[in-house]
Structure formats: C-alpha cells, structure tokens
A and B are shown apart, each in its own frame.
Chain A
C-alpha cells in the first residue's frame, strides 16, 4: 500500500507573528519556519502504518518555492521513502493545492492520502476535503484513531459532541487531529540518510492547472487588542469585582 503525505512549510507554532507596517501580509523575513504540526502527525501515522506492515511506501509532497524541499527532507528524515517537490512561485490557496494534489494522485495512484486538518498559517481547514471531492474519494476528517482492514479504513473522528466512528473505502483522504499520535523526532543517522533519499521535481506549469487565486487579499491587519486588566489580591476581591464592576455574576 502506498501513502501520500502532503507537507507544508509554515511559520513555527512558537512564533508570535506580527503584521507588516504596510498591512499587506505578516512579517515572514527572518522568522523560524517548520513543518505544519498537523502534517508531522500525518507523517508519523504513515510511518506507523509502514512499521505495522500495512503500508509499503510513503511519499511526501510539498508545493512552493525551493525552500519547501527542507520540509520534504524533514519528512524523509522522519522516515518517509521519497519526496515530490512541486516547484511553484505563485501564491497558492487550498483550491489550487487540492488541484495540484489531484493531478499527483492521478499520476502516482496512492491508496491513502494522510494530511493535516489545517495549516496553522492560513487556518483554512479545507485542502483535504477539497482533494477528496475532486478525486471522488471518501473522506475522514479530524482523525484521532485509524485502523486499516482489507480495502477499508476505520476512523475515529473528533467532532463537536465527542467522537464519531466511520468506515471509508480505500482509496481515501484522512485529515489528522491532535490526538492521533505524538510525532517522533528525526534521529541524527536518519537525518544523514534522508540526504540520499530521492526527491522528484515537477514544475507546476507542466501540470496545466489553473492556479489563479480566487480570493484577493486586500489587507492584513492587527486584531483588536484587549486593554490590560488588573491583578487582584484575593478571592474576595475577585468576587467583588465580578459582581460590582464587571457585573457578570
């Protein structure tokens, strides 16, 4: 069984991003970049399926500027077998990413795509669902547990009321939630080994896909900030403030 894992290079989750003065974007110069945490969970899950003997091959794919090859290398260092780098200099939104991934799926025919439920930069939560729609495959979003039996995958999904269990025929798209697993760190020998693993390069132009953005970003601004409050000295003072000043209890 072949698993495709899309990985995205994003601002590291520990960085508090700042809006640029000209309000066109957030500041990305000299900011630490990492693999989207949900994608690390996706890579980890694919590796576990391989270790169980369920999967035989794991391919990591990333789309963007040459830097995204670092992210592919991270996935290879964790244990993925090979990478696909789609070279693309234009800004991409989930619709275009889903189209590019559809074209790759049609070419390499994976049995399963495991990907993050959302990227922590644009917080879209969309690409996995769009991809499975375009491929006309089943989808299992927000996965916290999965199990493969024959040609089916059983998935526990985190939903607003608790957990939902579904069964999806393969091939399918799964999107990961936080509780699916705890990703491993790449060991030094594996980082060295990853340098020799193959990464195929594809030029986005060669795919003949319309990637013109449908959403034009007019402005990126700071959110409303909260005024700093006060520290109280005791529970009594807290209750007094809540009752008489804030009037919320």
Chain B
C-alpha cells in the first residue's frame, strides 16, 4: 500500500504539523513525501533525516510558490493516482487543496482525522467535537487530513534516509491568480505547536487592552490566541482564532482570559493538558473545563500574575 504525505511548508521551512502527519501516515504503510515549491532544497534538507520514509518526490516550479489549490490538486491527481492513501495536514493549505483533489479523483475526503483504527477505519470529531465518528472507508483512494494535535511528531535521526527525486511536470492553471498576502508578523511561537497559549476574548474590551495579555504571554514564552468575538471586534488578527472554525490547539497550558467558553471555542482547545480560566463571572462555562479557575477581574488578575512570574 503506497502512502503519500503532501508536505506543508512556506517555501523556506517545513510546517511543523507535517511531522505529525508523517507519524500518522506511517501507520498506513510505506510513506513517500511530496514537496511542491519554487524552492525545494531547504525543505528537503529538513525532510531527509526523518526516520522510516522512502522517497521524497519534488517538483520545483515558480507556480508552486503560492500553493494554489488548482495547481497542486491537478499535479497530485495526475502523478499519484496509483496511491492508496494521500495525507495532508489539516492546515489552511491542506483544507484548501485536499478536498479539491478528492473531487478530481472522485473519492470522499476523510477530514480532520484524530485516530487511525485500522487501514480503512478512522475517527474524526463532528459537531464541534461533541461527538466522535468512526468511519469505515470504501474509497479506492483515501484522501485524509490529519489533526496534528492528535498525533506525535515523526522521529528525526542523523542519517540521510529519504531518496530525493524530481518528478512530473505542471501545466499551470489559468483560472486563479495569486496577488499578495498580508501575513501577521510575530516573534512568538506558532499558535498550533506552542507549549503555552494565552488567549483573550471579548472581555479584553479593546485592541490596546490586549497588550496586558501579550505581556503575560511574553513572560511565559507563549503564543497568543483569541476567541471569535475578539477577532470579529477587530482586537486581534484572524489567524489568532481558536475554535471549531479556527485553529485547533492542545498545548501543555492554555490560559483563557475574558472568554466565556462557548462550545465553538472549547472545540479548539479542550484537549490542552492543563486549562486555566480567568473570568469575572464565576458561572462562566469556561470554568467547567478548567483545571484551575480564578473568578476575578482580568484587569487586576493578569497584571498581578505577570508581575509575580519570574
């Protein structure tokens, strides 16, 4: 059974969740990797030490720089039809490309997998994680996206394992054109793989007030997250949103400040190892899933906590 992992990256660096996806793929059979980029070398240098992989296929093409779904899906459909499993990380790239590929190959995508029961049986959350469905696939090709927080990372050794091989050629699409992007700049750890996440909600009240939370995050070396309400209100950028329809995180410590704890928010963080809630309303639902809750005004509690940490 041939299994392919489509590597997620930003053309310079590997997207960390790829390692979790590779770990999941190794449960399904022999694993090959595919790198589509305008510059594959640095990424391949990272991939080559991953244990137990076979081939690293590459296609270097300027068109892949912006990873348009039309180009990536066409290329994969043309060159990897004979694979049994094709896996992606459940990142915004994976969510964009994988279902399009499934549409081209007439196969039902299996998104956001959290457990591989056997080679045709997968578990995935539904209804904002309030239920877990076990699905048995009758697909000829399984196209799967992996929830990275549910799998360990693949191991990296010292030896060069994977064999790098350029394959295929791309006919670029004439439907969609990349224009530009406005990326959020941050020195902080990446939200979905951080050890500690400090998240703020509507309770913060303004963009300026978020600074008190950011100070706490920087003291802890944490990533910043937010509720939908804080993003909608324009306090913070969209890529901070944690939840059912935002990012899924499972850090060692999740600090929810001024967040009520709606099911859609909980869906994105309830697998964190330790959760603390700070909310002035002692009946806020966030406390029902907090290991430690503090019912206090955040404008008092957060600066105090920041000053007392060393």
Choose among A95, A98, A132, A154 the residue that contacts B179 (Cβ–Cβ < 8 A). Answer: A154
Indicate if A198 sits at the interface (CB-CB under 8 A). Answer: no
Indicate if A248 sits at the interface (CB-CB under 8 A). Answer: yes
Choose among A98, A168, A236 the residue that contacts B103 (Cβ–Cβ < 8 A). Answer: A98
Listed residue (A93, A162, A178, A215) with the most chain B CB atoms within 10 angstroms of its CB:
A215
Contact B134 A221 (CB under 8 A): yes
Chain B positions 80-133 with a Cβ under 8 Å from a chain A Cβ: 91-93, 95-104, 106-112, 121, 125-133
Contact A218 B121 (CB under 8 A): yes
Chain B positions 21-62 with a Cβ under 8 Å from a chain A Cβ: none
Interface locus among B153-161, B162-170, B207-215, B301-309? B301-309
Chain B, interface size category, equals 35 or more
Indicate if A249 sits at the interface (CB-CB under 8 A). Answer: yes
Chain A, interface size category, equals 35 or more
- State the majority secondary structure of interface residues on B: mixed
Contact A141 B96 (CB under 8 A): yes
B92 partner residues in chain A, CB cutoff 8 A: 142, 157-160
**A134-B103, A231-B294 are contacts. A95–B288 as well, Cβ < 8 Å?**
no
Contact B293 A123 (CB under 8 A): no
Indicate if B139 sits at the interface (CB-CB under 8 A). Answer: yes
Choose among A123, A138, A160, A215 the residue that contacts B176 (Cβ–Cβ < 8 A). Answer: A138
A82 to B103, CA, bound (A): 28
Listed residue (A161, A163, A231) with the most chain B CB atoms within 10 angstroms of its CB:
A161
A128 to B287, CA, bound (A): 37
Please give the residue numbers on chain A whose beta carbons come within 8 Å of chain B beta carbons, in ascending order.
11, 13, 16-19, 26, 38, 93-95, 98, 117-118, 120-134, 137-142, 144, 154, 157-169, 172, 177-179, 213-223, 226, 228-232, 234-236, 238-239, 241-242, 246, 248-249
Task: Rank and list the top 9 A-B pairs by shortest CB-CB distance, nearest first.
Answer: A133-B103, A138-B175, A130-B103, A129-B99, A214-B108, A229-B291, A126-B99, A138-B176, A165-B179
